[in-house]
Structure 1
Amino acid sequence: MEFDLSWLLLGLPLVFMLGWAASRMDLRQLRRQNRDAPKAYFKGLNFLLNEQQDQAIDAFIEAVQNDPDTSELHFALGNLFRRRGEYDRAVRVHEHLLSRGDLSSTDRDRAQHALALDYLKAGLLDRAEDALARLEGTAFEAEARLARLAIFERSRDWPQAAEVARKMHAADQGDFSTRQAHYLCEQAHSERAAGNSSAAMALLEQALRAAPQAARPHIELARLAEQTGDSARALELLRALGVQAPSALPLAAALLTEIARDSGREAEVLALLQAHYAQGPSLDVLDAIVALSERAGAAPTEQNESRMWYLRHLEHEPSLVAAAKWLAGERLEHEEFHPQIQAALDTAARPLTRYRCAACGFEARQHFWHCPGCQAWDSYPAQRVEEL
C-alpha cells in the first residue's frame, strides 16, 4: 500500500499548533508562579519590617508553598519561628532543608547551624551539642566551638570544655590559655572536695604551666601548698604572683597573712605587703598590713601604731571603710554611744566592700573567677566597690 504524503503535510501544521498551545500554557503557569512567589515574599518582608511577625509568617508560608525548592524562603521562615519562640516549627523547617538531596554543601552547613541554634534556644543542650559537633571542618566551625564551650561550661563539664578550648587555641581561634587554666582549677577544686589533694596539686601545676601569667593558678596552688604544710612553696608562688599579676595580689593578702603566721615569717611578708601597698593602695593589703603589725607587736607606747595605717590611707583615699575600721579601736568622748555609731558606720560601709562584675554589674561579697550573673570569666576586678 502506498503512503499518502498529503496526510503528513496536513498533520505537520496541526502538531505545530498543538505544541505552540502547550508551550503557551506552560509559560503562563510559570509566569503566574514566579509572579505569585515574589509577591508573597515581598509581602512577608513588608510585614517583617513593620514588626508584624504573624502576618509575615503567613506570607512566607504561602511563598514556600508556591516555590518549595527555594532554600532562602525556608531559612527566613525558620529564623522567624525561632525568634517567636516556636522552636519545634523552626526545627521542622531546618530538618526539612537537611533532608533535601539537592541542597548545596554551603546551604547544608547553614541549615545544620540553624538547627543547632534552634536546639540551643529551646534549651535542648544534648541535641544542640550533637548538631554543633557536626559543624567541625565547616565555615561555622569557630562559632560552633564557642557555642559548645558555653554548653560545657553551663553543664560544668570541665574536661570537655578544656578539650574544646585546646582545639581553638591550637587553631589560632583566640588565646584560650587562661580559660584552660580556669577549667583545670575547677577540676582541681572537685578533687580537693573529694579529698584527693595529690590529684588537685597535679591539675593546678598543669594550670600554672598552661597560663603562667594567670592569677588563679598561683593563688589556688599557694592555698593548697599552705594547707599541706609547705609554707615556703606557698610564699614563693605568691611572690611570683606579685611579679606576674600584681593587680591580683590583694586577693591573696589574707592568705599571705596566714602563711606569715604559720611559718614565722611575719617581717618578710610584711615588707612584701608594704612594698605592694606603696605601688597601689588596696583595702585588702591594708588590712593584712594592720593584722601583721599587730601580730608582730610594738612597744607599749606604740601599740596603736598598726592602726595608724588606716589614718595614713585616709590621707590619700577618702575611704569610709578605712574610717570605720580605724574608729572601731578608738575611744570616744561619749563612749556609751560608740556601739550605735559603729554599727551605723559598718552598715553604711558594708556595700562598699563587695566585688562588682565589670561585665554585668553583679555584686557579691566574695570574689568570683566566673561571674554567676553573666557567666563571664575574669570579669571581677581585685578591688572592692569603694576602690573602683
Structure 2
Amino acid sequence: MEFDFAWILLGLPVAFMLGWAASRFDLHQLRMENRRAPKAYFKGLNYLLNEQQDQAIDAFIEAVRIDPDTSELHFALGNLFRRRGEYDRAVRVHEHLLSRGDLNRADRNRAKHALALDFLKAGLLDRAEAALADLEGTPFEQQARLARLAIYERSREWPQATTIARKMQAAGQGDFSARQAHYLCEQAQAHAAAGRLAQAEMLLREALDAAPQAPRARIELARLLLQGSKSQEAFDTLAAIERQAPMALPLAVPLLIETGQAAGRQAEVSTLLRDSYAHTPSLDVLDGIVALEQALPAPGQDARMWYVRHLEREPSLVAAARWLAGEKLEHEQYHAQVQRALDHATRPLTRYRCAACGFEARQHFWQCPGCQTWDSYPARRVEEL
C-alpha cells in the first residue's frame, strides 16, 4: 500500500491551527494570572496599610500561590507572620526561600537574616545564634553581631559577649570598652563567689585597663583588695575614682570610708568627700561626711549641722528627715511617730531610677533589670535628679 502524501498536506494546516490555538490559550492564561498576581499584591498592601493583618496575610498567600517565584512576596509574608507572632509559619516561609536554587546571593543573605530574626523572636536562642553566626562576612554582619551580643547578655555568656564586643569595636561599630569592662566584672564576680580570688583580681585589672573611666571595675577591685588585707592599695585604687569618674563617687562612699579606716587615712577620705560635695552636692557624700565627723573622738560641733547647711543650699526632704532624727522635740513622745511618717515619705526619694525606662530600685544596678540597658542608672537618688 502506497503512502498518500496528500494526507500530510492536509494535516499540516490542521496542526498549525491547533498549535496557534494552544499558544493563544496559554498566552491568555498567562495574562490572566499576571493580572491576578498584582491585584492580589496591591490588595494585600491595602490591607496592610489599614492595619488589617489577617486580610493582608490571606491576600499575600493568594499572590504567592499565583506567582510562587516572587521572593519579595515571600519576604512580605514572612515579616507579617513574625509580626503576628506566628513564628513557625514565618520560619517555613523563609526556609522555603532558602531551599530555592535560583535565589541570588543578596536575597539568600536577606532570607538568612529574616530566618535568624524568626528564631530570635521565638526564643530559640541556640538556633538564632547559629543563624546569626552564618551572616559573618555579609551586609547583615553588623546587625547580626548586635543581635548575638544581646543573646549572650541574655544568657549571661560573658566570654562570648566579650569576644563579640571586641570584634565590633575593632570594626568601628562603636565604643564597647565600658561593656567589655562589665563583662569582665561579671566573670570576676563568678570567680570570687567560687573562692578563686586570684582569677577575679586578674579579670578586674583587665577591666580597669579596658575602661579606666568605668567606675564598676575600680569599686569591685578595691573591695577585693580590701578583702585580701591590701588596704593601702585598695584605698589608692578607689580614691582615683574622684579623678577618673567623679559623678560615680557617691556609689563608692561607704567602701571609701571603710578602706580609709583600714588604711589609717581617714583625713584623706574626709578631704576628698568635702571637695566632692563642694563641687557637686550629693546626699550620699553628705551622709559620708556626717558619718566621718560623728566617728571622731571629740567632734567640734554637731555633725548633723551639715544637713542644715545642705538645706540652705537646696530643699531636701531626705536631709530634713535625717536632721530631725537626732533632734529633741517639744513633744518628744510623738517623735517616733513623726519620724516613721517622714521615713515612709522619703523612701521613694532615696531610690535610683533608670534613665532609659524609668524602672526604680532601692539599690543601684549597673544593668537595668527592666530594660537590660547598661549604665542607665545615675549615681544620684531620685530626689536629686
SS of the aligned residue for 2:65 comes to helix
Contact kept, 8 Å, 1:256 with 1:269, in 2: the verdict is yes
Q: Which runs of 4+ in 1 moved over 4 A?
A: 2-16
Deviations 1:132-177 (A, max 9, x none): 1111111111111111111111111111111111111111111111
Q: Which residue of 2 aligns with 1:355?
A: 352
Q: In 1, are the aligned partners of 2:94 and 2:114 still within 8 Å (CA)?
A: yes
Q: Structure 1 residue 383 and structure 2 residue 383: aligned?
A: no
Identify which range, 145-154 or 255-264, moves more after superposition: 255-264
Tell me the SS of whatever aligns to 2:295: helix
> Considering only aligned residues, what root-mean-square deviation do their CA atoms show, in Å?
1.8
Post-superposition Cα deviations, 1:236-285, rounded to whole Å, max 9, x if no partner, equal 12222111110001100111111122222111110011011111000111
Post-superposition offset of 1:65: 0.7
Q: Contact between 2:235 and 2:263, CA under 8 Å: does it hold in 1?
A: no
Taking every aligned residue pair, what percent have the same amino acid on both sides?
73
**Distance across 2 between alignment mates of 1:250 and 1:227:** 21
In the alignment, which residue of structure 2 is the partner of 1:62? 62
1:341 paired residue among 310, 316, 338: 338
SS of the aligned residue for 1:139 comes to coil
Number of the residue aligned with 1:167: 167
Per the TM alignment, residue 18 of structure 1 is displaced from its structure 2 partner at its CA by 3.8
Q: Which amino acid aligns with 2:188?
A: A
* Unaligned runs of at least 5 residues, structure 2: none
The one-character-per-residue Cα deviations of 1:35-78 (angstroms, maximum 9, x if unpaired) are 11111111111122222222211111111111110111111111
The equivalent residue for 1:207 is 207
1:242 corresponds to: 242
Is the CA contact 2:239–2:256 (under 8 Å) kept in the aligned structure 1? no
Query: Which residue of 2 is the match for residue 92 of structure 1?
Result: 92
Normalising by structure 1, we get a TM-score of: 0.95
State how 1:71-220 maps to structure 2 within 5 Å. Answer: 71-220=71-220
User: 1:19, CA displacement in angstroms?
Assistant: 3.8
Give the Å deviation of 1:14. 4.7
**TM-score, L = length of structure 2:** 0.96
Which residue does 1:307 correspond to in 2? 304
- Give the match for residue 33 of structure 1: 33
* SS at 1:296 equivalent: coil
SS of match in other structure, 1:131:
helix
Moved more, 8-17 or 30-39: 8-17
Are the equivalent residues in 2 in contact too, given 1:266–1:296 (CA < 8 A)?
no
Q: Structure 1, residues 322-341: CA drift from partner, whole Å, max 9, x if none? A: 11111111111111111111
- Does structure 2 conserve the Cα–Cα contact (< 8 Å) formed by 1:297 and 1:303? no
Structure 1 contact 87–122 (Cα < 8 Å) conserved: yes
CA offsets 1:175-226 (integer angstroms, 9 cap, x no match): 1111000000000011111111111000000001111121111111111111
Gaps of 5+ in 1: none
Q: Does the aligned pair in 2 maintain the 1:321–1:349 contact within 8 Å?
A: yes
2:221 is matched with which residue?
221
